[in-house]
Homo-oligomer: A and B are copies of this chain.
């Protein structure tokens, strides 16, 4: 069985300008691997309407799932939700359930918050949106077709992702096995690794140099959905690195 695929759109000028270090890609990529929906592409795009609409329409046709982060707050630069409506060609309108959740949330605050026009935008969604719960700050994300719209703030994004996760049907989980060896240089092991890769068509073998005070080495990662093949490939790597005169160790370098 082929696994479903995913694309992540990171929406926000603050990431593209270098102000903010993205912290969502790594989380989403890791969790999607566990669920068996490998992330095949990620894009960082600005808060520009035409760019967001065109990109959503391009990638929702190309991947089984699209996840977006960012741009669903109350301010003028939060335009993801209305762009999703435009991409799907549906009205952007108050969502009754989101509306009542937010109205109740602001009424509960001490002193009561104002459910003003800006906050009402967070309860305005493409027609047909299915809510994604937000236990951190109430304002929900949503799913529209195969597009899952999440917050940009990492702890809110993570709460939304975990609320959504049980509904995502993945294939076999992506598993990986790492072997590393201090003191080895990639250039010495490259040909042997290529030969191992050639024997395992369904396993991705990646080679990653690392640097540590006092010396570095190479970490070799075998990854795939066939757990037995991944294990066997990692074993072959271990034997090969030992034959190169190194003292390879299973797992990531500390």
Contacts and interface: CB of A to CB of B under 8 A. Distances in A.
B22 A22 contact: yes
Nearest to A21: B26
B209 A77 contact: no
Given A21-B26, A42-B44, A44-B25, A14 B116 contact: no
A17 interface: yes
B18 A27 contact: yes
Interface stretch (A85-93, A165-173, A188-196, A225-233): A188-196
The copy count of this chain in the complex is 2
Contacts of A207: 73, 75-77
B74 A186 contact: yes
Range class of the A interface residue count: 35 or more
Interface string A60-84: 0000000000000111110000000
A106 to B, nearest CB: 8
A45 B42 CA distance: 7
B29 A114 contact: no
B16 A29 contact: yes
A194 to B, nearest CB: 4
Interface of A: 12-22, 25-31, 33, 38-47, 51, 73-77, 113-114, 116-119, 121-122, 153, 155, 174, 176, 185-191, 193-194, 197, 204-209, 211, 221, 223
